[in-house]
């Protein structure tokens, strides 16, 4: 990774950027649950959650209401850097934060996972995609709430192969997330009898021009170009693929992780016809429309996507568990709090009924969407049509295949 | 001809068409590097300021093009004319109000000021427009692609290379071959003496900064249809472009142009053979050049 302007500053300013916590009296602190929203507030993943994820968390706190204890929401920017993220997490947990949520960027998500395990504090990841969070690196303090690379690979990758895309070329962001997404998708391609013609791993986040990789993909004669990246990288890849006329000549693009704001940024003219997977769409059913409407005063003219609204969903469930087990017990042990969450069924307007599996995997259905053409779109943010639904129990990697250390198979 | 292609394939270990395609793409990226580093070199040559706001000004150029289209209904060609004037003017204001106070101090102060301003501008745009970017379409006249046999070249990319070459050449001619350019070069060497001849040096310096900024803004307009128009679009570019200027020799106009195109090609080749290193290769070259020739390839020691 080349030094960006932000990384030049991080070394010197990082420490002072840490948000200071308000001092509470001892009795008051004992009766206050503190939730830290740690995400990207200034970089490529900001619009996926960032300040909107914080607002969704606040909405959950507001809807939960007063159940006899205080709730505080803090937020910080991890700048997509594992060291910065781990430092903030460490400081937060030491200063009495009971739960850290969000944490996009898999490398940061895994770093914070280690801190939470070490300190026996609750951690709900809604922003990272690596399926290792409930596999090789699983932890009894961790819940993985939203999409993971296995679920994305199965839904989007599986559908592409079924539609005849049996040879692939990967354009992969060169860090934990990209590697995991490429690995999981490759497994599905091979299991379905397809093959991988090749791939490139490009430096993250210092790459803006993807034309070279797209031309390499084209000369590999693969039928599908798998984009194992996210955020601005995906946007640039899709824009430039259209520019080079790649999709016009029969090659399909598989945007393996893409969110509603990305479609908004590309515009329907270029994005139409892409298939992608999300667990949430504001216009999916009456409940999703209702919660999106309630969020309107907070998000203004932005619609929530599966990443930002996952903060709403997981905060509600955590607070219900706290109310159930008592504030003192929830503060004392992250493992106990997470176990209580696993024991209780989930239900909210964003994702409907669901549950958390023993390895920390939250189960909810995944939806395969196709992006509408400009003619089909009737209103702002009217972008998706539903192609296929994978039920919650089938959407994620089976429990005994993850290699999680505390699961006896 | 066929045996020649075979020879290339044997030496490079890659199909010849792929290699040609990558060289061409490298040249296109080099065009951006050349245009950006040219602006930096002009500013450094005359003002002795390392303009770290350059990336933000490039980004402002792209955003200004988007605003003209969305808010005023003025298309790409209008943007190409108006944006450099408007953004160049913001540069003039910045130079008059802030940068001009630092000329007597060490380089470091100018660097810190422009670096800070860049961060602030980027932050303001991020607050206003978010980070995922805005769509900007390729103008209708430049839609489509040419089939070159070994690859499809989008018409727009070809246009970028031509526009960059024209701009670079024009700038070089003005500075090396005209009377105005002679004043500029003289003022770089000995400002008090040039002033004694009745030339208004402070005004010339201000306009030079404005011109450098305008170059960055044109770069932004050219980039808007192919890259995502987002607040951090200049951040990655500025570090690379700064390395280009250092390799070419600080303040050397021709050096920055040649190095810009050259490094674009080197980067393009790295993307074929070892893409993981494509963001680092320029800095490796910078380190080697600095060890061997501290003044840069075209600089005067």
Number of domains forming the structure of chain B: 1
**Claim to verify: residue A307 and residue A320 sit in the same structural domain:** yes
**Measured between CB atoms, which of B15, B145, B236 is closest to A4?**
B236
- Cβ separation A264–B132 shorter than 8 A: yes
Q: Rounded CA gap, A98 and B208, in Å?
A: 56
Q: What is the pLDDT of residues B159-172, one digit of tens each?
A: 999 999 999 999 99
pLDDT-derived band of residue B106, with 50, 70 and 90 as boundaries? confident
Percent of residues, chain B, with pLDDT higher than 90: 45
The chain A residue lying nearest B280, using CA atoms, is: A2
- Cβ separation A245–B145 shorter than 8 A: yes
Report the first-to-last Cα separation within chain B, whole angstroms: 45
Note the pLDDT of residue B77: 95
- Cβ separation A208–B157 shorter than 8 A: no
Whether A366 contacts chain B with CB within 8 A: no
Task: Judge whether residue B237 has pLDDT over 90.
Answer: no
Residue A21 lies in a domain: yes
Token code pair at residue A193: 């009898």
Chain B, 149-178: which have a CB under 8 Å from a chain A CB? Answer: 151-152, 154, 156-157
Could you tell me if A255 and A274 are in contact, meaning their C-beta atoms sit under 8 angstroms apart?
yes
- Cβ separation A43–B232 shorter than 8 A: yes
Note the pLDDT of residue A30: 85
Residue A4 lies in a domain: no
Task: Judge whether residue B251 has pLDDT over 50.
Answer: yes
**Claim to verify: residue A95 and residue A201 sit in the same structural domain:** no
Q: What are phi and psi of A369, to 5 degrees?
A: -115, 155
Could you tell me if B279 and A1 are in contact, meaning their C-beta atoms sit under 8 angstroms apart?
yes
How many CB atoms within 10 Å of residue B280? 16
Residue B117's Cα: distance from chain center in Å? 18
Listed ranges A349-358, B27-36, B138-147, B178-187; the one with the highest mean pLDDT: A349-358
Residue B185 lies in a domain: yes
Residue A10 lies in a domain: no
Chain A, 294-353: which have a CB under 8 Å from a chain B CB? Answer: 302
Tell me which DSSP letter residue A353 carries: E
Residue B263 lies in a domain: no
Q: What is the pLDDT of residues B6-60, one digit of tens each?
A: 766 677 677 777 788 888 889 888 999 999 999 998 888 888 888 999 999 999 9
Question: Counting every residue, how long is chain A?
Answer: 409
pLDDT-derived band of residue B144, with 50, 70 and 90 as boundaries? confident
Note the pLDDT of residue B79: 95
**Measured between CB atoms, which of A42, A267, A270 is closest to B126?**
A42
**Claim to verify: residue A274 and residue A166 sit in the same structural domain:** yes
**Claim to verify: residue A91 and residue A239 sit in the same structural domain:** no
Chain B, 261-280: which have a CB under 8 Å from a chain A CB? Answer: 268, 271-272, 275-280
Note the pLDDT of residue B3: 67
Q: Which domain holds residue B223?
A: 25-232
Task: Please give the interface size between A and B, counted as residue pairs whose CB atoms are below 8 Å apart.
Answer: 139
Residue A221 lies in a domain: yes
Note the pLDDT of residue A14: 40
Task: Judge whether residue B1 has pLDDT over 70.
Answer: no
Residues contacting B274, CB < 8 A, separation 6+: none
Residue B237 lies in a domain: no
The complex scores an ipTM of 0.81
Residue A1 lies in a domain: no
Residue B201 lies in a domain: yes
Q: What are phi and psi of A163, to 5 degrees?
A: -80, 10
**Claim to verify: residue A72 and residue A101 sit in the same structural domain:** yes
Which of A126-130, B85-89, B114-118, B150-154 is predicted least confidently? B150-154
Note the pLDDT of residue B265: 92
**A234: closest CA among A263, A277, A212, A198?**
A263
**Claim to verify: residue A245 and residue A191 sit in the same structural domain:** yes
Q: What are phi and psi of A38, to 5 degrees?
A: -110, 110
Question: Domain of A336: which CATH number?
Answer: 3.40.50.2300
**Claim to verify: residue A96 and residue A178 sit in the same structural domain:** no
How many CB atoms within 10 Å of residue B158? 16
Which of A347-361, B66-80, B249-263 is predicted least confidently? B249-263
- What's the 3-state SS for chain B? CHHHHHHHHHHHCCCHHHHHHHHHHHHHHHHHHHHHHHHHHHHHHHHCCCCCCHHHHHHHHHHHHHHHHHHCCCCHHHHHHHHHHHHHHHHHHHHHHCHHHHCCCCHHHHHHHHHHHHHHHHHHHHHHHCCCCECCCCCHHHCCEEECCCCEEEHHHHHHHHHHHHHHHHHHHHHHHCHHHHHHHHHHHCHHHHHHCCCCHHHHHHHHHHHHHHHHHHHHHHHCCCCCECCCHHHHHHHHHHHHHHHHCCCCHHHHHHHHHHHHHHHHHHHHHCHHHCCCHHHHHHHHHHHHCCCCCCCCC
- Cβ separation A213–B26 shorter than 8 A: no
Q: Which domain holds residue A265?
A: 151-279+365-395
Note the pLDDT of residue A409: 56
Note the pLDDT of residue A259: 95
Residue A120 falls in which region: left (phi positive, over 0), alpha (psi -120 to 50) or beta: left
Chain A, 75-94: which have a CB under 8 Å from a chain B CB? Answer: none
Residue A402 lies in a domain: no
Question: Counting every residue, how long is chain B?
Answer: 301
**A394: closest CA among A360, A369, A367?**
A367
**Claim to verify: residue A132 and residue A248 sit in the same structural domain:** no
Number of domains forming the structure of chain A: 2
Could you tell me if A126 and A310 are in contact, meaning their C-beta atoms sit under 8 angstroms apart?
yes
* pLDDT averaged per 10 residues, chain A (length 409): 41 45 70 95 88 96 94 94 95 95 95 96 96 95 96 93 92 93 94 92 87 90 94 90 84 93 91 94 96 94 95 97 95 96 96 95 95 94 95 94 84
Residue B192 lies in a domain: yes
Residue B7 lies in a domain: no
Q: Rounded CA gap, A149 and A185, in Å?
A: 8
Residue B124 lies in a domain: yes
Q: Which helix (H) or strand (E) holds A276?
A: strand A275-278
The chain B residue lying nearest A258, using CA atoms, is: B132
Report the first-to-last Cα separation within chain A, whole angstroms: 40
**Claim to verify: residue A233 and residue A290 sit in the same structural domain:** no
- Cβ separation A4–B235 shorter than 8 A: yes
Whether B206 contacts chain A with CB within 8 A: no
- On chain A, the residues whose CB falls within 8 A of the CB of B125 are none
Token code pair at residue A376: 């089909």
**Measured between CB atoms, which of A47, A216, A236 is closest to B130?**
A47
**Claim to verify: residue A40 and residue A82 sit in the same structural domain:** yes
Q: Which of B15, B275, B281 to mutate to test the interface with A (most CBs of A within 10 A)?
A: B275
Q: Rounded CA gap, B161 and B156, in Å?
A: 9
**Measured between CB atoms, which of A4, A47, A212 is closest to B131?**
A47
The chain B residue lying nearest A41, using CA atoms, is: B131
- Cβ separation A243–B278 shorter than 8 A: no
Residue A134 lies in a domain: yes
The chain B residue lying nearest A205, using CA atoms, is: B236
**Claim to verify: residue A72 and residue A176 sit in the same structural domain:** no
Q: What are phi and psi of A186, to 5 degrees?
A: -55, -40
The chain A residue lying nearest B276, using CA atoms, is: A202
Note the pLDDT of residue B249: 87
How many CB atoms within 10 Å of residue A199? 22
**Claim to verify: residue A213 and residue A333 sit in the same structural domain:** no
- Cβ separation B152–A216 shorter than 8 A: no
Tell me which DSSP letter residue A163 carries: T
């Amino acid at each position: 990774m080349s030094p960006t302007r932000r990384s030049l500053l991080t070394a010197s300013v990082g420490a002072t950027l840490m948000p200071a916590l308000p001092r509470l009296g001892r009795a008051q602190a004992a009766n206050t649950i503190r939730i830290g929203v740690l995400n990207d507030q200034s970089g490529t993943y900001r619009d996926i959650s960032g300040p909107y994820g914080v607002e969704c968390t606040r909405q959950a706190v507001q809807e939960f209401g007063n159940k006899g204890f205080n709730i505080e929401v803090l937020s910080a920017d991890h700048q997509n850097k594992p060291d910065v993220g781990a430092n903030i997490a460490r400081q937060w947990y030491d200063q009495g934060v009971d739960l850290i949520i969000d944490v996009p960027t898999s490398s940061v998500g895994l770093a914070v996972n280690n801190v939470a395990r070490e300190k026996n504090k609750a951690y709900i990841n809604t922003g990272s995609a690596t399926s290792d969070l409930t596999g090789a690196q699983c932890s009894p303090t961790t819940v993985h709430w939203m999409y993971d690379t296995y679920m994305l690979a199965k839904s989007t990758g599986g559908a592409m192969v079924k539609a005849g895309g049996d040879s692939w070329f990967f354009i992969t962001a060169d860090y934990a997330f990209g590697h995991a997404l490429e690995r999981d998708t490759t497994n599905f391609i091979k299991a379905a009898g397809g093959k991988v013609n090749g791939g490139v791993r490009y430096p993250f986040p210092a790459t803006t021009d993807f034309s070279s990789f797209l031309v390499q993909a084209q000369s590999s004669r693969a039928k599908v170009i798998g984009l194992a990246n996210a955020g601005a990288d995906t946007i640039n890849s899709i824009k430039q693929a259209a520019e080079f006329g790649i999709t016009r000549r029969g090659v399909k693009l598989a945007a393996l992780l893409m969110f509603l704001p990305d479609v908004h940024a590309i515009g329907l003219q270029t994005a139409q016809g892409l298939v992608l997977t999300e667990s949430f769409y504001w216009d999916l059913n009456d409940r999703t429309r209702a919660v999106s409407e309630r969020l309107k005063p907070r998000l203004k003219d932005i619609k929530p996507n599966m990443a930002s609204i996952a903060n709403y969903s997981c905060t509600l469930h955590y607070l219900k568990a706290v109310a159930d087990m008592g504030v003192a017990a929830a503060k004392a042990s992250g493992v106990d709090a997470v176990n209580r969450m696993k024991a209780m069924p989930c239900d909210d307007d964003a994702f409907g009924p669901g549950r958390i599996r023993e390895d920390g995997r939250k189960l909810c259905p995944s939806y395969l969407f196709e992006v509408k053409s400009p003619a089909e779109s009737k209103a702002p943010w009217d972008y998706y049509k539903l192609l296929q639904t994978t039920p919650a129990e089938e959407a994620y990697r089976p429990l005994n295949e993850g290699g999680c250390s505390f699961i006896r198979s | 001809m066929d045996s020649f292609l075979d020879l290339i394939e044997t030496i490079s270990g890659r199909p010849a068409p792929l290699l040609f395609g990558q060289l061409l793409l490298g040249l296109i990226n080099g065009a951006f590097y050349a245009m950006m580093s040219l602006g930096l070199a002009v500013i450094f040559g005359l003002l002795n300021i390392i303009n770290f706001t350059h990336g933000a000004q490039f980004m402002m150029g792209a955003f200004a093009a988007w605003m003209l289209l969305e808010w005023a209904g003025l298309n790409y060609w209008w943007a190409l004319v108006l944006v450099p004037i408007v953004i160049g003017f913001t540069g003039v204001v910045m130079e008059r109000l802030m940068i001009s106070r630092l000329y007597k101090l060490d380089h470091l102060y100018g660097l810190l000021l422009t670096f800070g301003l860049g961060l602030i501008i980027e932050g303001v745009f991020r607050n206003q427009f978010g980070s995922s970017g805005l769509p900007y379409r390729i103008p209708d006249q430049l839609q489509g692609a040419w089939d070159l046999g070994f690859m499809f070249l989008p018409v727009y990319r070809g246009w970028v290379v031509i526009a960059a070459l024209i701009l670079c050449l024009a700038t070089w001619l003005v500075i090396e071959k005209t009377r105005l350019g002679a004043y500029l070069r003289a003022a770089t060497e000995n400002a008090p003496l040039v002033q004694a001849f009745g030339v208004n040096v402070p005004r010339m310096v201000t306009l030079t900064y404005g011109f450098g900024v305008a170059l960055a803004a044109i770069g932004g307009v050219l980039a808007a249809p192919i890259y995502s128009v987002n607040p951090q679009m200049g951040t990655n570019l500025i570090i690379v472009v700064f390395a280009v200027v250092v390799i070419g020799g600080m303040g050397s106009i021709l050096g920055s142009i040649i190095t810009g195109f050259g490094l674009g090609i080197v980067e393009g080749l790295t993307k074929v053979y070892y893409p993981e290193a494509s963001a680092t290769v320029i800095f490796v070259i910078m380190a080697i050049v600095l060890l061997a020739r501290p003044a840069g390839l075209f600089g005067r020691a």
